Amino acid sequence: MAVFNKNTLYQISGFDNPIIAGELVYAQQVFWNLDFKTDGEPVDLSDATIDAQIIRRQISNLRDTRYGLTFDIADYISDPAPEPINLTITNVDGPAGSFTLVMDESAWDVMANDPQLNIEINNCVAFSGRIKIAFPASGTSPAQDSIIFLLFLVRSDGVVN
């Protein structure tokens, strides 16, 4: 798993926000089991709405430094413009405060002939996005959203492309 420079992650999520960041191989299927707790007790997600989206990004100046990967991130410019990609949320257990975020190649919407998947390319394919957990208003508490930011770099394994 890649180590990202702390300042690079702040670029995506800010100083106090959680983030899931990783370096994936093209066509890799992966999932994350997430559990939410407060003071050791599960956060009840029974009434919450959970969704996740990513969108293609352009990175430049990718460098592996002593403190982790650093790079600049910007909108990916193409015609047509990239659309947000919905990720699958499964295994929701509201009372236990858990769910699974799933990513597979079909979610990435990346073609095998994408030039940024060439093994010699330094500035690889990138996606950023978020998981949004929307809690409805309850009693005197107003509605509230919890956000987890997402950042994925996608590289060629040297076999496919």
The 10s digit of each residue's pLDDT in 71-90 is 899 999 988 888 888 999 99
Please give the pLDDT value at position 161.
Answer: 55
Please give the pLDDT value at position 29.
Answer: 86
Segment among 61-65, 77-81, 152-156, 157-161 with least mean pLDDT: 157-161
- Mean pLDDT, residues 55-83: 88
| DSSP sequence for 124-137 | -EEEEEEEEEEEPP
Structure-block tokens of residue 143: 């509605």
CATH architecture designation of domain 6-155: Sandwich (2.60)
Please give the Cα distance from 57 to 71 (Å, whole number): 12
pLDDT of 2-54, one tens digit each?
A: 677 888 888 787 778 899 998 888 878 899 999 999 999 999 999 999 999 99
DSSP state of 116: G
Residue 108 has pLDDT above 80, yes or no: no
Please give the pLDDT value at position 133.
Answer: 97
List of residues 6+ apart from 99 with CB closer than 8 A: 33, 34, 45, 50, 89, 90, 91, 92, 93
Q: What is the pTM of this model?
A: 0.87
Percent of the chain exceeding pLDDT 90 equals: 43
Please give the Cα distance from 154 to 157 (Å, whole number): 10
Q: How many CB atoms neighbour CB 49 within 10 A?
A: 12
Please give the Cα distance from 49 to 70 (Å, whole number): 33
- Mean pLDDT, residues 90-106: 91
Backbone angles phi, psi at 32, to 5 degrees: -130, 125
